[in-house]
Structure 1
Amino acid sequence: MLQFRRDESAVLDRLIDDVGSGESRALVLRGESGIGKSALLEYALGRAAGWPTVRAAGVESEQELAFAGLHQVCAPVLDRLPGLPAPQQLALRTAFGLAAGKPPDRFVVGMAALGLLGEAARDRPLLCLIDDAQWLDKASAQVLGFVARRLRAESVAMIFAVREPADGGEVTELAGLPGVRVGGLSDDQARVLLESAYPGPTDKRVLDRVVAESHGNPLALLELPRGFTRAELAGGFGLSPVVLPGRIEESFRRQIATLSPMTRQVLLVAAAEPVGDPVLVWRAVDRLGIAVDAEAASREAAERFVDFGPRVRFRHPLLRSAIYRAATGAERRRAHGALGQVTDPVTNPDRRAWHRAQAAEAPDEAIAGELEECGRRAHDRGAATAAAAFLERSAALTPEVKRRGQRLLAAAHATYEGGMPAAAPRLIALAEATPLNALEKAQADVLYARCAFALGRGRDATESLRQAATRLQAIDAATARDTHLEAIRGSWFLADHAPGLTLREMAEAARSSPRPGPETTSDVLIDGLAIRYRDGYPAAAAVLKEAVAEFCVKAPTGDSGLLLEWFAGSIAVDLWDDASWDLISRRYEQRARDEGIAALPIALTMQIVNLVMQGELASAGSLLEDFDAVRQATGIFDAPYAGLLLAVWRGRVEEAAELLDAMTDDANKRDEGVTLIAVASMHATLLNGLGRYQEAAAAALRATEPEREMGFITLCALAELVTAAARADQPDTAARALARLTAMTEASGTDWALGVTARCRALLAGRDSAETHFREAITRLGRTRIRGELARAHLYYGEWLRRHHRQDDARRELRTAHAMLTEMGADAFAALAARELGVAGEKVRKGAKAEPSTLTAQETQIVRLVRDGLSNAEVADRLFISPRTVEWHLSKAFAKLGVTSRRHLRR
């Protein structure tokens, strides 16, 4: 058949050649069942002859077993585990149930898997083949997608085969990876294949019908005629009008029907046992009490369907499902019952419980309890989605209705925690149909509101949170106050666009709710928010500083920890306290990875914005890949603020314009006022970077005219408005904006706040005082992490010096600005600095970059971290790449910079 797959084979040839030369590649083969994806995997295996290979295949019945697919990939190379950092070793061992520990961060598990494959490829390139990836358990799919996106220089080839959506559902975790669609054969090719498979007398009309019905699907061409007699092939037969995979399965069923009863029983047990352990299969068959000639049954099955080698392997994945579905419900339950009896309860408790659950004919508390325990273990391994599946099955087998409701509610919580907020409401509804007590009903209300917020963040979600908080006040005061905080966050996103849900109303409601005990940091936070949204930013600054200081010293704990981290980070950046913001945003990101993927998109957004403001655009770009991957994998909504901000600072006009339009349309639909304000503010930054000051002033006015105070976003917009209006001959507008900005930044009192204010003041000041303000701005901003704003201070100071004919001083400042902005990758502002340098009499060679501009953005980032004393493993962990990739980039950087050691680099 591969004679008809020259294009696909050529793609695989290039991939194997690239990996053989030291690079890494990932590829996804997509196509319908039987189209030839598995054959192409075998072709790649042949082309990589001599390479170590790891193979895995998703199994439909294993989707509830956390990290089952990843274990298949990693098991053959676990001997390389000692080469990984200790935290990664522990994370992988915990995920596989080989060690006890707290639930591992799935991103640390991803880094561990990436490092493990890199270690396995140190001597020779490594080939990873993953068939039927649409059936991978969710935890494995997320980790393997993470690994595939970060392959760089490990000499690893990773090839996935995935059924198209019509056959198995899109694997969102692999979205964005390079792919090839494997299509059907042409009619002429199909006829050649069919005639070669069925030589002898056949009716041309039959062949034409098979070709037409198969739609070029090779497996259909080969399997549809099987099970029919030569007379039927010669005289014609009818094909049932069902979808293609159904036809193929029907063909398999017709063939299965010709087997002896004992062989069918053996095949059914093998199909029901996803591990592929032949000893387990035969023990289960023996337990069924059927007198089976094992050798004869094995020989009969192997001739056409399955290979009983070290592992039980079916000739085609559809065979497993065809055999399983051909059996009656009673036959399947008997097979699972036997497998449950022979599966070791110590080494494989989860698989044993799963088999027992499949064998159950009626609710059974003992089995339900085992499944609940499986859910706990899955949660401890960091696999919330698997925990949810076990808990839902446990609930279905729970005879007592009240206990069933509690387990359904637990399953809903696990589903939400696992990043599937769209799936949790169904379980909540089922739980609410049982006799929940008042507290459980209130918990269901809160969870439903959280799901709505994760999926949309509109008025309805915020209203649901407010109502749930109110109902909880008389039942659970602590949870009520936490829920009030969530309602405040929802109202913040609305930015007072929704009457009745204003920030002031939400904050006052939270403040008036009963306190559960002595004052906590959460109470200080609520008091500060109430003052802020009633009396204004300056009035609340002192209280909010106190709350942030406490959060920096001691991270919030308990169920509300993630929510409080968001507030702490948001308030720190609103105060323009860059040190506290950096600490809290990094901690928040890590905590979201560890504890709650539902919070991860918002946590990543905060950290990306932090990195952009620090001028770490390459690091921000790396995290943006994680943001996109998480959003695609979970369906959790979060507007791409971070992506737009990164595009703005990189000066990517077309990309930014596309995001601006999309976010504006979406915000109008959702009534999400904060997005409209943020979009206008970032648009002003983009236009200021392009030197289009009239347009920048108009955009900044849109962000500031509503007079709504949105903290950091408002401060940024006011600074952009002063910058643009000062150049667009709008002195009154600039002065009003500066007055508003000053009132807020003086209340903050940080170097970041006062430095930006000094820079803005310099743009409006006369000749006698402007230079003093510029130097204050540079001094203050130089004491912060905010390198982008510092570079702009040098740029605007250089412009001012040039206009006042101090060319030497101007060139010094402009060179500094150009070097900083170029190194960051802030191309639009860098181009602005280059133009000013040209006017000042210093020509910047087109395409030239300041030191260390010979490096790529990734190399620059790695060099900076190594210079700061981080090891390769620490750099890899920080940047979510493998140590092998760090080595590769570092060797290239050494050559470009003319250095030979890390010590030389630091000097």
Structure 2
Amino acid sequence: MKEHRLVERETSLAAARSRVAGLRAGTGGALCLIGPAGAGKTALLSAVLEDAGPARVLRATAGELEAHAPYGVVRQLFGRALAGLPAAALEAIAHGAARPAVDLVLHRPNAAPVDQSAILNSLYWLLDGLAADGPLVVAVDDAHWADDASLLFLQHLLARLDDLPVLQVVAARDVLPDRRRPALAAVLADPRAVRLDLGPLSPNGIRACLADRWDAEADDEVIAACVDVTGGNPFLVVALGDLLASRPSTTTAHAVRSLVPGSVVDAVIQRLSALPPAEQALARALAALETAPLRTAAALAVLDIADAADAADRLRDAGLLAPEGPLTFRHALLRSAVSTTTAPAARDQLHRRAALILGAEDPHRAAGHLLEVEGTGDPWAVGLLRAAAQEALAEGAPHVAVDLLRRAVAEPPAAADLPPVLVELGTAELHAADPAAVITLERAGRDVVDPVLRAECALALAAAYHVGGFYERTVPLLRAVLDDLGPEHGDLHLVTEAMLIAAALTVPGEVVPARARLTARGDLAGDTPGERLLLIQQASVSNASTAPIAEAGELARRAIGEGLTPEQVASPFDWTIARTHLACSGAYDETARLCARGLEHAAREGSVPLYAAAAVTRGWSHLWAGKVDDSATDFAAALAQADLVPGGEAVRLLALAGRAEALLAQGLLDEATAAVDSVPDEIAKDPGNATGIHLLRARGLVRAASGQHAAALASLDACAERLAALDMDSPTWCDWRSAAAESLWALGRADEAVELARFALAAAEQKAAPSVLGQALRIVGEMTAADGIADLRRSVAVLAASEARLQEARSRVALGSALRRTGQRTEAREELRRGRELAHRLSAHAVTERASAELALAGGRVARIEVTGVAALTAAERRVCELAAAGLRNRDIAQRLFVTTKTVEVHLSRAYRKLGVGRGGLAALLDG
């Protein structure tokens, strides 16, 4: 078959070549080649890849029947590259976070199921390892047929190509937007990729294309007829040219118009009908299989191997099959045409037989055939689909599992087997963040009789409700389930009760009975997951009540145990809540150490949800301790991963609230404003979203800092209403009163301000939490002239004995200012100097500036504080340097911190300049 050159693709090829040139210079990028079937996407892709040298090419072609094989395209991309590596080189690439991806690509069994975010992270590090030897091109053809898991990886990669010498090239059919799967639409619509739309050929383009086929020029009437019948589609033009190649000089416009676009393909298919039955059987088998080894195609066509091989050769000669490589059609349009010549019933039968043939060796490919046909109630088909779905879930591909289980439900299973299949489907939908999980699990719950399965279904449904904020639906659901569970069901009863209480505590009207349940449980040791979950809820109630905060801290410690209990990895949300209560008790350093262990565990496992949970929790602990720069770095790390976390909205809101407060302390008001304004009001004020409470408080603080005190009070009042509705108005849970009192004072409403400040002080005295007590004393002291200095002195004393260094700095500056105003200038200067130095050390620039101004008014010398050596490093730079000093390679550091290797290199480069040393000198400086 004569090859044809690219015609009228010069502009697209030039744009693609500019990206290839960037790759040679070490800059990553992305291309999307979009066009209808036959537009020449594959030819353009091949031309781009020919220009890519010396970059290595990882190439995959998606298949229509492989769209439900989890990571099928990913395995194609990486499989050949890994298979050709020596054992030592493979082990070097598989080091660290890349190992799960290597195991996935090489079909090694997983030690344990992995979540999707871990696989996406691991695949990135696998690509990073391969790119260490030079630039790479990752090319995917026919991406409209790619599996969702692979498309999610391509989408994940788009955001990180600036830091890798990788060019991603995706070629896809231009299907209508409303028919694109979400994962494909996200890849094609991403603005970071250069999109090249391949249009039809012009009359001159058709003329040039036919001249290549015929070695002769066609007249204008023939060209006009070709435009009419092909629409300028390059594949149809080439097919037309080949059909008429034997008589180009005598071809007329009438002869061309007799071959309408559909008939152009049909005319090629006519060659099939002239061939013997063996060729016809093999072609129809291949139309069902799409591509296959000869033995599989022969088995489906009911031919022996020798006859099938001869038939394949004749099909190649007829122009139907690709001339080289595995058995497959020369173009998807030809496969479709052959498929349409097969009667629907016969086509369905081919797919069912293909599933049986492939079932033992390739369950996912077999399942793909079952997805092409309607169900017949076959138990074997249900079993295959369920097994393939469980494997997909274990490999971190929940979207694939959803499609397979929906097909299993449609088979349908026997009535007795339907409820567990629905539970599996609902659980998979939950993992895929599919709102349909609610409907599926509600349907399953109506038919489940077994109490254990019913509880498992209810717990999954409760999780689905919580994603949507429907906590009020969870309470009656789990209450009914608990009635059927007894001591014989072990810890399942406690887990279910803990989930019920967790939901009830967020529903006005259900809080009192939930607390009664917790009280009835008494003291728990924390020996089982259920006990630990109940302890977390007991800590929540204690923290939200007037009980001393030390009680909540002790309950949290029991829930956490040794810090590596199942509670740590089973639910990142529970992980965060337990450690947050510990931090609320004032144990900031202890909490930070536990979070560091969690971050190490997340790095080992590649768990993005746990990493985000640990980062946001440590961020709050650092913020309350006054380590402002450290907290801002933690919150930024959590925000960078929030999009990959199931239910990541809660992480994002918590991290944004904390980051806004940290930015305020750093004096970055504009950035703090942008953080709190990035969340729409309907989300921040949604009663079903408990984390919005903290964002409302942060918004109040930001508005106050910008002088908008009325707006600040509106946000803080909304925060107060939410807390009151849930009976959790405690200063250690969310201290809104102190901030509201300061805004009332600024608005001249002094009596209201003092009254509210004294109320806040009384609540803080009850909680006996040094941080909030010291802050409340400071605010009352600043507002009351008579006893103000005494309150401020007590505030400093309380905070100096705690771990709340930033609050101590604020109170020392406030005390120094009050002493200056009463003429006690010597003591004032001492407090102001100490407060200024402490605030500066904490990177709290707003407090530092206030202290400097007050010190000047007190007659003190405001010397510039020199920042040199390790103190000049940012928190992010210091963390990278500490790991480098411990002997970790840049790539290992990046994996530990869930950043790119390039980011690590930038931090180290800046640190070397600030410290005046290289890598070898880091340890001595950091230890000093």
Q: Normalising to structure 2: TM-score of the pair?
A: 0.76
Q: How far is 1:268 from its partner?
A: 4.5
Secondary structure of the residue aligned to 1:160 is strand
Match of 1:544 among 536, 549, 552: 552
Q: How far is 1:694 from its partner?
A: 6.5
Sort the Cα spacing of 1:724 and 1:51 in 2 relative to 1 into closer, same or farther, 3 A.
Answer: same
Match of 2:512 among 504, 509, 514: 504
Sort the Cα spacing of 1:858 and 1:768 in 2 relative to 1 into closer, same or farther, 3 A.
Answer: closer
Segment of structure 1 superposing worse, 110-119 or 603-612: 603-612
Contact 1:723/1:763 (CA < 8 Å) preserved in 2?
no
Sort the Cα spacing of 1:789 and 1:325 in 2 relative to 1 into closer, same or farther, 3 A.
Answer: farther
Alignment of 1:518-667 (within 5 A): 522=530, 526=534, 537-539=545-547, 541=549, 543-554=551-562, 557=566, 564-565=574-575, 567-579=577-589, 581-582=591-592, 615-630=630-645, 640-643=653-656, 645-646=658-659, 649-650=662-663, 651=668, 653=670, 656=673, 660=677, 662-666=679-683
Unaligned runs of 5+ in 1: 240-246
For the pair 1:369 / 2:383, whether they are aligned, the reply is yes
Q: Which residue of 2 aligns with 1:821?
A: 843
Contact 1:273/1:339 (CA < 8 Å) preserved in 2?
yes
Unaligned runs of 5+ in 2: 212-217, 246-250
Q: Which residue of 1 aligns with 2:737?
A: 718
C-alpha distance after superposition, 1:742-788 (max 9, x if no partner): 4555555556555655655664576744774575477456x46xx87
Match of 2:204 among 165, 173, 192: 192
Contact 2:608/2:641 (CA < 8 Å) preserved in 1?
no
C-alpha distance after superposition, 1:346-379 (max 9, x if no partner): x645445665787897433344334433344334
Tell me the amino acid that sits aligned with residue 309 of structure 2. A
Contact 2:265/2:337 (CA < 8 Å) preserved in 1?
yes
Secondary structure of the residue aligned to 1:538 is coil
Contact 1:466/1:484 (CA < 8 Å) preserved in 2?
no
Q: Which residue of 1 aligns with 2:466?
A: 453
Secondary structure of the residue aligned to 1:715 is coil
Q: How far is 1:52 from its partner?
A: 1.3
Tell me the amino acid that sits aligned with residue 678 of structure 1. H
Sort the Cα spacing of 1:326 and 1:723 in 2 relative to 1 into closer, same or farther, 3 A.
Answer: farther
Q: How far is 1:141 from its partner?
A: 3.3
For the pair 1:294 / 2:309, whether they are aligned, the reply is yes
Tell me the amino acid that sits aligned with residue 635 of structure 2. A
Q: How far is 1:70 from its partner?
A: 2.0
Structure 1 CA distance for aligned equivalents of residues 850 and 565 of structure 2: 44
Rg bigger for which structure?
A: 2
Sort the Cα spacing of 1:429 and 1:791 in 2 relative to 1 into closer, same or farther, 3 A.
Answer: same
For the pair 1:156 / 2:166, whether they are aligned, the reply is yes
Structure 2 CA distance for aligned equivalents of residues 285 and 88 of structure 1: 42
Q: How far is 1:901 from its partner?
A: 1.8
Secondary structure of the residue aligned to 2:582 is helix
Sort the Cα spacing of 1:746 and 1:299 in 2 relative to 1 into closer, same or farther, 3 A.
Answer: farther
Match of 1:381 among 375, 378, 395: 395
Structure 2 CA distance for aligned equivalents of residues 677 and 730 of structure 1: 25
Contact 1:604/1:623 (CA < 8 Å) preserved in 2?
yes
Secondary structure of the residue aligned to 1:76 is helix
Q: Which residue of 1 aligns with 2:248?
A: none
Structure 2 CA distance for aligned equivalents of residues 266 and 801 of structure 1: 96
Tell me the amino acid that sits aligned with residue 193 of structure 1. G
C-alpha distance after superposition, 1:503-528 (max 9, x if no partner): 33444467679999999675686588
For the pair 1:91 / 2:100, whether they are aligned, the reply is yes
Q: Which residue of 1 aligns with 2:127?
A: 117
Sort the Cα spacing of 1:579 and 1:311 in 2 relative to 1 into closer, same or farther, 3 A.
Answer: farther
Q: How far is 1:707 from its partner?
A: 6.3
Match of 2:80 among 76, 80, 85: 76
Tell me the amino acid that sits aligned with residue 65 of structure 2. S
Sort the Cα spacing of 1:309 and 1:649 in 2 relative to 1 into closer, same or farther, 3 A.
Answer: farther
Secondary structure of the residue aligned to 2:463 is helix
C-alpha distance after superposition, 1:692-729 (max 9, x if no partner): 56654554344336762355785342343355556665
Q: Which residue of 1 aligns with 2:437?
A: 424
For the pair 1:400 / 2:414, whether they are aligned, the reply is yes
Alignment of 1:636-715 (within 5 A): 640-643=653-656, 645-646=658-659, 649-650=662-663, 651=668, 653=670, 656=673, 660=677, 662-666=679-683, 670-672=686-688, 674=690, 677-690=693-706, 696=712, 699-704=715-720, 708=724, 709-710=728-729, 715=734
Tell me the amino acid that sits aligned with residue 92 of structure 2. G
Q: How far is 1:402 from its partner?
A: 0.6
Sort the Cα spacing of 1:440 and 1:900 in 2 relative to 1 into closer, same or farther, 3 A.
Answer: closer
Q: How far is 1:471 from its partner?
A: 1.2
Q: Which residue of 2 aligns with 1:101?
A: 111
Q: How far is 1:27 from its partner?
A: 4.9
Secondary structure of the residue aligned to 2:322 is strand
Tell me the amino acid that sits aligned with residue 721 of structure 1. A
Q: How far is 1:72 from its partner?
A: 1.7
Secondary structure of the residue aligned to 2:547 is helix
Sort the Cα spacing of 1:144 and 1:293 in 2 relative to 1 into closer, same or farther, 3 A.
Answer: closer
C-alpha distance after superposition, 1:400-434 (max 9, x if no partner): 32123322322222332x22332334544664686
Tell me the amino acid that sits aligned with residue 736 of structure 2. A
Contact 2:298/2:305 (CA < 8 Å) preserved in 1?
no
Tell me the amino acid that sits aligned with residue 626 of structure 1. Q
Contact 1:324/1:332 (CA < 8 Å) preserved in 2?
yes
Structure 1 CA distance for aligned equivalents of residues 15 and 839 of structure 2: 45
Tell me the amino acid that sits aligned with residue 894 of structure 1. Y
Sort the Cα spacing of 1:657 and 1:617 in 2 relative to 1 into closer, same or farther, 3 A.
Answer: closer
Sort the Cα spacing of 1:705 and 1:76 in 2 relative to 1 into closer, same or farther, 3 A.
Answer: same
Structure 1 CA distance for aligned equivalents of residues 14 and 738 of structure 2: 55
Contact 2:812/2:832 (CA < 8 Å) preserved in 1?
no
Structure 2 CA distance for aligned equivalents of residues 264 and 744 of structure 1: 85
Contact 1:307/1:314 (CA < 8 Å) preserved in 2?
yes
Alignment of 1:206-217 (within 5 A): 206=225, 209=228
Tell me the amino acid that sits aligned with residue 116 of structure 1. L
Structure 2 CA distance for aligned equivalents of residues 541 and 135 of structure 1: 56
Q: CA RMSD in A?
A: 5.2
Q: Which residue of 1 aligns with 2:475?
A: 466
Tell me the amino acid that sits aligned with residue 821 of structure 1. S
Alignment of 1:661-810 (within 5 A): 662-666=679-683, 670-672=686-688, 674=690, 677-690=693-706, 696=712, 699-704=715-720, 708=724, 709-710=728-729, 715-722=734-741, 724=743, 731-743=750-762, 745-746=764-765, 749=768, 752-753=771-772, 756-757=775-776, 760=779, 763-764=782-783, 768-769=789-790, 772=793, 775-776=796-797, 779=800, 783=803, 810=832
Contact 1:677/1:713 (CA < 8 Å) preserved in 2?
no
Structure 2 CA distance for aligned equivalents of residues 570 and 611 of structure 1: 11
C-alpha distance after superposition, 1:642-688 (max 9, x if no partner): 345435644474884586485323455x5447466434311122235
Structure 1 CA distance for aligned equivalents of residues 205 and 854 of structure 2: 69
Contact 1:576/1:752 (CA < 8 Å) preserved in 2?
yes
Structure 2 CA distance for aligned equivalents of residues 851 and 326 of structure 1: 77
Q: Normalising to structure 1: TM-score of the pair?
A: 0.78
Sort the Cα spacing of 1:573 and 1:600 in 2 relative to 1 into closer, same or farther, 3 A.
Answer: same
Segment of structure 1 superposing worse, 791-800 or 874-883: 791-800
Alignment of 1:472-511 (within 5 A): 472-477=481-486, 479=492, 482-490=495-503, 496=508, 500=509, 502-508=510-516
Q: How far is 1:56 from its partner?
A: 2.1
Tell me the amino acid that sits aligned with residue 109 of structure 2. A
Q: Which residue of 2 aligns with 1:59?
A: 63
Q: Which residue of 2 aligns with 1:169?
A: 181
Secondary structure of the residue aligned to 1:373 is helix
Sort the Cα spacing of 1:451 and 1:607 in 2 relative to 1 into closer, same or farther, 3 A.
Answer: farther
Contact 1:56/1:131 (CA < 8 Å) preserved in 2?
yes
Sort the Cα spacing of 1:745 and 1:879 in 2 relative to 1 into closer, same or farther, 3 A.
Answer: farther
